[in-house]
C-alpha cells in the first residue's frame, strides 16, 4: 500500500487556495493549507510535507523569506 505524498499549499488568495486544495485532494494527495508565511513555517516544521506549493506574494513573511528560512 502506497502512502500518498503530503503537500503543503501556501496561498493567501482563498479561491486559488480552494482550487489547489480540491484538485490535489482529488488526485489522491494529503493536503495541508497555510494562508500566510508564519503559518507556513509552523506547518512545515510540524507536518514535514513532501512538497510545498508556495505563493511568493504573501502577507507577513513572503515566499522568498520562507525559502531562506
CA distance 18 to 6: 16
Query: What pLDDT, in 10s, does the model give residues 47-61?
Result: 999 999 999 999 888
CA distance 29 to 27: 6
Q: For the full predicted model, state whether its pTM sits above 0.75.
A: yes
Domains in the chain, start-ordered, CATH in brackets?
Answer: 6-68 (3.40.50.2300)
Q: What is the pLDDT of residue 69?
A: 78
Q: DSSP secondary-structure letter at 33?
A: E
Residues 62 and 39 sit within 8 Å (Cβ to Cβ): no
CA distance 7 to 52: 6
Q: What is the largest CA-CA distance in the chain?
A: 40
Amino acid at each position: 500500500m502506497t502512502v500518498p505524498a503530503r503537500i503543503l499549499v501556501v496561498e493567501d488568495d482563498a479561491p486559488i487556495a480552494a482550487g489547489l486544495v480540491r484538485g490535489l485532494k482529488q488526485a489522491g494527495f494529503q493536503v495541508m493549507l497555510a494562508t500566510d508565511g508564519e503559518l507556513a513555517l509552523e506547518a512545515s516544521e510540524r507536518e514535514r510535507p513532501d512538497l510545498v506549493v508556495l505563493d511568493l506574494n504573501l502577507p507577513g513573511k513572503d515566499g522568498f523569506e520562507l525559502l531562506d528560512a
